[in-house]
Amino acid sequence: MAMVTADTERKHWTAAELRAIPDDRNRYEIIDGDLFVTPSPSWSHQILSQEIFQLLHPYTATHQIGQILWAPADIALADDTVVEPDLFVVPLVGGKLSHSWEQVGRLLLVIEILSPSTARMDRTVKRRRYQREGVPEYWIVDGNARLVERWRPADNRPEILTENLPWQPDPALPALDIDLPRLFAVVFGE
């Protein structure tokens, strides 16, 4: 279960303090100074992440939109906010692919694969932070329910998608249309 640490001596974490935590196979993130700890992802979580990557990568590469990357990756949104999205798309920098984390100035798309340990955090804390950051689209992929919650910066409620998930980061380009029943059938061997 994702949890905020109860360290009474340290009330507001920074990126530097986060980077000093020894690797113990847990995932650590800080959001607005609060430290969150989650266990490593499950097998089905990783397969779902892999399949989504394989759908998005050709589209981002063909249309030169940017790069799709995956966790582990510490994305510093502020000195007291370092997130580790399951998948994310960063735009090109000056028409070229990024070559360092320091070049990542913004995110075009963030995708979190829901798990029992992260559901509350993904739907509340992270969602609000990504909305404040102005991330154009934030997808919460719920494999158990076979749906995607799509959030945009001004949304008060998600768009719930169960059939097709269109993504069009540039209106001048054709949309990528993800067939959700097919995606989930591949992931869960149905």
pLDDT tens, residue order, the chain (190 aa): 444 454 545 679 988 888 888 888 778 888 889 888 877 788 888 999 999 999 999 999 999 998 998 888 888 888 888 888 999 999 877 666 666 555 566 799 999 999 888 888 899 999 999 999 999 999 999 999 999 999 999 999 999 999 999 999 999 999 999 999 999 999 998 8
Closest listed residue to residue 91, CA positions, set 107, 80, 76: 107
Structural domain of 164: 41-187
Residue 16 lies in a domain: no
Residue 34 lies in a domain: no
Query: What CATH number does residue 114 fall under?
Result: 3.90.1570.10
Residue 154 lies in a domain: yes
